[in-house]
Amino acid sequence: MAKIRPFTWKRFMSRWLFGFFLIASTYNPSGYSYFHWLTSNDGSFLSLKIAVGLVFVWIYVALWPMVYTGIGPVGIFNTIAWSTAFSLVLWDYGLLDYVSPSFYPYGVIATIATVIAIGLAFSHLQLQFWAVKNVRKVAPKRY
C-alpha cells in the first residue's frame, strides 16, 4: 500500500496557486485571458483558440467533480461565505480602503481558487486523518 504523504501548507498553496492560475487564465479583468483572446476580432489562430478552449473544458470537467466530491455543495457554500466574510472584515477595518475597484474581480478569482484548493485538499485530509476515500461509485441501472 502506498504511503500517504503528510499534508502541508506548501501543498495547499500549490493547489491554491493552480486554482488561481486556472481561473485567472480563463478570465481576468486585465485583458490578458483566454476570454479576451477568444473574443478579439483579429480572426487569426481559430484552430488554436478551439484547441486551448477544449483543454480548458477538459480541465474544468475533471476538476469540478473532484471539488464537489471533496467538500460537496455545503462545503462550497461555506468556503464562499467565509471568504466573503473575511473580505468584509478586511473592508470594515479599513484595510481595503485604498484598493482600486478594478482589483475586486481578483478577490472573486481568489475566492474561487480557495474553493478549488479546499476541495482538492479535503480529499487528501480525509484519507490522511480518517482513512476515508472519496470514490464516486458508478453502477449500471438495473431494469
CA separation for the pair 48, 109 (Å, rounded): 25
pLDDT digits (tens, 9 = 90+) for 70-80: 888 999 999 99
pLDDT digits (tens, 9 = 90+) for 19-63: 999 999 999 988 899 999 999 888 788 899 999 999 999 999 999
CA separation for the pair 123, 7 (Å, rounded): 11
CA separation for the pair 140, 143 (Å, rounded): 10
- Output the pTM of the full model: 0.79
C-beta atoms surrounding 30 within 10 Å: 11
CA separation for the pair 43, 35 (Å, rounded): 14
